Amino acid sequence: MKEYDFVVIGSGIAGLAFALKAARHGSVAVITKRKGADTNTAWAQGGIACVTSDEDSFELHVRDTLEAGAGLCDEAVVRAVVTEGPERISELAEIGLQFDKREVSGHRELDLGKEGGHSKRRVLHVRDATGKEIEETLLRELGRQSNVKLLENHMAVDLITAAKLGFATEDRCLGVYVLDEKTGEVETIRSDRTALATGGCGKVYLYTTNPDIATGDGVAMAWRAGVEIANMEFIQFHPTCLFHAEAKSFLISEAVRGEGGILRNHRGKNFIKRYDARGSLAPRDIVARAIDAEIKRSGAKCVFLDITHKPPEFIRKRFPHIYQTCLRFGIDMLKQAIPVVPAAHYQCGGIKTDMNGATSLLGLYAVGEVACIGMHGANRLASNSLLEGLVMAHRAAAAAVHRRPGGIQKVALPEWQSGNVQDVDELVVIYHNWDEIRRLMWDYVGIVRTDKRLQRASARLRNLQREIREFYWNFKVSVDLLELRNLAAVAALIVDSALCRKESRGLHYTLDYSQTDDRQFKHDTVLSRW
Ligand code: SIN
């Protein structure tokens, strides 16, 4: 059994920022499923929303966030994240991150981008690859810490809790079982402070802007450990994912619309104005629904994002990554509109935490996309998530350092029991179930919902979960099997949460209850196993 003062599961912005702060106070293990940089963060294009300009104010950023959140944000949390943002951003700069600047009247100032729902330009960015730069900067800094162990190709299987071990004390997290993908062995790692920073669950849907690692592992593990989960019905669909048979999950940043890109239908018409006066830069939920309706109405396969009216040198400099990637697929965005469709992008709900990232299980913290702290409410404002991850990692690490759970006996944790299980004999079952979940979630639990579709999804998911459970107990665990088990659990949580909300609000839109009902539903949807 290995032991660390802190265990962090996930290596995106929130996990790495937490690890760096915790490392000042003890030993840290960072567990990550693939390579350190295989994270949602590394794919983030737009940037970090933060008030840095004299023309902007904390008040405006708070107001925009609350407005996007459609009545469900926790204002105290929003204020804390917005006002603490600049200090955390300057820490990133101290370890070498350089945001883009531009020349204004003879001096250089931050080049601020604009995205949907923001009343001011406030998005700091590094060209159109902000997340990648942040990820590399944080990993570099992590590599300088002698007391941090980065365990790549390791996947957390389940949290070890006092309740699961049968202790009659207050329940708490004691560590985690971790699969070493290279050896196929499950190791026991002990820690009385564990932070989940596993990101979101985009892979639960057929079409997503997320990388393959986004399989909802943190939420699923927390749920199995009896931790409260909130607001899982609020899945954000990004309006503009590249539509191309060979392109997998490639995002066309909202910053393209922020710089003047216009959404057109297959007839070349700027159609969003028919749905919302703000046009292509209306909030994401509205734009994604408008595209969905337009595609369904016209029978076209996609819509188009047109920025050809901008000077070619501007496009190449501001969007080098998008420009090059589109070119690879034979699309020259200097001359032609980019074909796009909406795709699952961000999980606004997650593991319920307090303002310091503490979950309902003692010793367990959750930070970043995996957590639901009340920042995003029913709809996240673009580019607020990297900011939230950074600020909350700081707050949670401070809380974990100062609130070491006391009073537990140093009992040895039981080793993982694999019993007589064998290697999975038919991988086809795993892949089939995986595809089935993703397709049924897309068809029945997508941008527009109905009770009937949700109930249908619920019934199928229960059957799939039964089958997966059998597999899990009878065969050796593998990353594929663990991911499938987690995907199924998270899909069921999304459906159950959506069935609870008999109204439309933010990202949850249902034809059966198309109005917002503040009287009955202006509250979080909190699910608990116990
Ligand atoms: C984007 O670049 O459009 C994504 C930004 C975000 O989701 O916050």
Residue span of the structural domain in which 452 resides: 427-522
What CATH number did the domain enclosing 485 receive? 1.20.58.100
Q: Which of 342, 374, 395 is the last residue of a domain?
A: 342
Q: In angstroms, rounded to a whole number, what is the distance separating the alpha carbons of residues 50 and 56?
A: 9
- The atom of ligand 1 lying closest to the CA of 380 is 8
Domain count, the chain: 2
Of 253, 325, 385, 390, best ligand 1 pocket probe by most atoms within 8 Å of the beta carbon:
253
What pLDDT does residue 151 have?
98
Of the candidates 75, 121, 83, the one whose C-alpha atom is nearest the C-alpha of residue 102 is 121
Is the residue at 294 inside a domain? yes
Is the residue at 270 inside a domain? yes
506 CB near ligand 1 (under 6 Å) = no
200 CB near ligand 1 (under 6 Å) = no
What pLDDT does residue 418 have?
76
Is the residue at 514 inside a domain? yes
46 CB near ligand 1 (under 6 Å) = yes
Is the residue at 122 inside a domain? no
Pair 219, 490: CB distance under 8 Å: yes
Question: Buried (b) or exposed (e) across 360-398, using 16+ Cβ within 10 A?
Answer: bbbbbbbbbbbbbbbbbbbbbbbbbbbbbbbbbbbbbbe
Of 122, 193, 257, 284, the catalytic one is 284
Pair 292, 447: CB distance under 8 Å: yes
What pLDDT does residue 38 have?
97
Is the residue at 376 inside a domain? no
Q: What is the DSSP string of 296-337?
A: HHH--S-EEEE-TTS-HHHHHHH-HHHHHHHHHTT--TTTSP
What pLDDT does residue 268 have?
96
Is the residue at 383 inside a domain? no
Q: Report residue 464 CA to chain centroid gap.
A: 24
Q: In angstroms, rounded to a whole number, what is the distance separating the alpha carbons of residues 233 and 312?
A: 41
Q: Report residue 172 CA to chain centroid gap.
A: 25
What pLDDT does residue 409 have?
54
Distance, CA 352 to ligand 1 centroid (Å)? Answer: 23
Q: Which of 342, 370, 400 is the last residue of a domain?
A: 342
Q: Which of 342, 359, 376 is the last residue of a domain?
A: 342
45 CB near ligand 1 (under 6 Å) = yes
What pLDDT does residue 419 have?
66
What pLDDT does residue 407 have?
63
Distance, CA 221 to ligand 1 centroid (Å)? Answer: 27
Is the residue at 87 inside a domain? no
Pair 335, 312: CB distance under 8 Å: no
What CATH number did the domain enclosing 248 receive? 3.90.700.10
Distance, CA 254 to ligand 1 centroid (Å)? Answer: 6
382 CB near ligand 1 (under 6 Å) = yes
What pLDDT does residue 224 have?
97
- The atom of ligand 1 lying closest to the CA of 236 is 7
Encode the chain (530 residues) as per-residue pLDDT tens digits: 899 999 999 999 999 999 999 999 999 999 999 999 999 999 999 999 999 999 999 999 999 999 999 999 999 999 999 999 999 999 999 999 999 999 999 999 999 999 999 999 999 999 999 999 999 999 999 999 999 999 999 999 999 999 999 887 789 999 999 999 999 999 999 999 999 999 999 999 999 999 999 999 999 999 999 999 999 999 999 999 999 999 989 999 999 999 999 999 999 999 999 999 999 998 889 999 999 999 989 999 999 999 999 999 999 999 999 999 999 999 999 999 999 999 999 999 999 999 999 999 999 999 999 999 999 999 999 999 999 999 999 999 999 999 877 766 577 799 998 766 777 777 788 899 999 999 999 999 999 999 999 999 999 999 999 999 988 888 889 999 999 999 999 999 999 999 999 999 999 999 999 999 999 999 999 999 87
> What are the pLDDT digits (tens) for 348-380?
999 999 999 999 999 999 999 999 999 999 999
253 CB near ligand 1 (under 6 Å) = yes
255 CB near ligand 1 (under 6 Å) = yes
Is the residue at 310 inside a domain? yes
Which residues share a beta bridge with 372? 352
What pLDDT does residue 269 have?
96
Based on the residue annotation, tell me whether 284 is a catalytic residue of this protein. Answer: yes
